[in-house]
Structure 1
């Protein structure tokens, strides 16, 4: 089996067009079309339906893509490891983050990688913990930050930090950072929260059970950016870590106050695949994540309740 041909197959499936895939791969379109015909003949199945809308995967094509995406990434990492020895680690690292983490970490991490590991190409994918975990298990992601505690098969997860959720309100609300609000007060406010099973919602529901009250959820929105926009427009209140709304708070677009009795915290985990030894480039990015999180926490850009060392359980 020609691994390069399989790589061409993945690229076409991602672009949905033979011409766009050929342009991306810098090869002639007829040559790429021939490679796909050879692959289909070798497998004895049709992988694509070809029409005006481009190249659409058949059921056989979908199955092949699901089965080979992870292994092909592992092969690519192995080849990059061999080429890089004994030089600096290199290759593409696909790293997943929740949107609230992307907001504060993505830019600084990308700059750190570019400055100190220029041979590494960093691809950042944002999404909720469920899709990110699925991406890890399927081999589409090399590593990810997940809200936890995650205990899935095939993934190693180490504690990264614990952050605290704050009550966030519109610009004309009376919320103040130096005036904590009892959790029970949330039952009296119209709330804008994610739907189940979003990790933030689960943390708040658990706290509501502990406080023996029921949350007054008026609007459900799974996007943290949308939640902030709805709150800013005066449609309710929400709960988020300071790191995810600090810019809006500084500019006066949102107000906030700490939540107490009980405080609501979430743990973030740094997760990687456990099925194989992690490539040096992935381990380097993991170290950069820990360094950048520590720097952001130290200068106040990411207020955290606790930072965990690598050895903490």
Structure 2
């Protein structure tokens, strides 16, 4: 338990540094991501959204690697170098007695910031849960189509839920769309269902809170657009007509504009999400990856992990020095 405050401060430091690098690099990377197919672009946007939180956890774990290896007898104990006569306790050694504490004026604001983001995540979760519950109470399952039908004149078509997503379609769409258009809407929402987009949206919104505000908005917009375009493309593949899907998007958007309302929460939805970009994408030729994405991802991951393993000891020492200075 004594080491937890130091690990928490280290995680915050790594997360903030990563967020700063993301803010500097993403404007340069973003135009190049547009060359990827939408499904891959959505994965990239999700990775960027969770990067500060994930990098904080990964790097904090790696600074504990040398003490753990020392404890297991795999590597010599760096806290007691041979031939050096000095006595001190490693700030991050999980098996050493901690004798110094971090100052309250450092821990208090960081703890408040972490509590704020945790509260925000819980609030978003509760909002989504309330919406799902309200739609479930207002609707009824259509076993034949595998959807929930909601009695509403609002042009509603969205997918919600995490472990077992549900597709909600309003009676207005079922009544006023032509059969081919309705097939396009259902194919689009089923694509969200099989991609687990509600869970991906929630993870991105929760983790992106560590980013600078403008980058957070940009990443969530890019993720939303890429996911919608990926589902549009899948719907076009299933119905066999990209123009039909584009026409359906425009038709539903016209109804939304007449209602002068927007979707209640940011969930995977057929309507009201960057319509112009989606229609232009459908009118253009389908994008194809110019290189093997899985192979490149595997190579990059291997190189990054190898680099972290080599840098574990220097990273540990540097973090130890910084935290030791703060704990004085």
Same fold (TM over 0.5): no
User: In proportion to residue count, which structure has more helix?
Assistant: 2
TM-score (norm 2): 0.25
Higher relative contact order (CA 8 A, sep 6+): 2
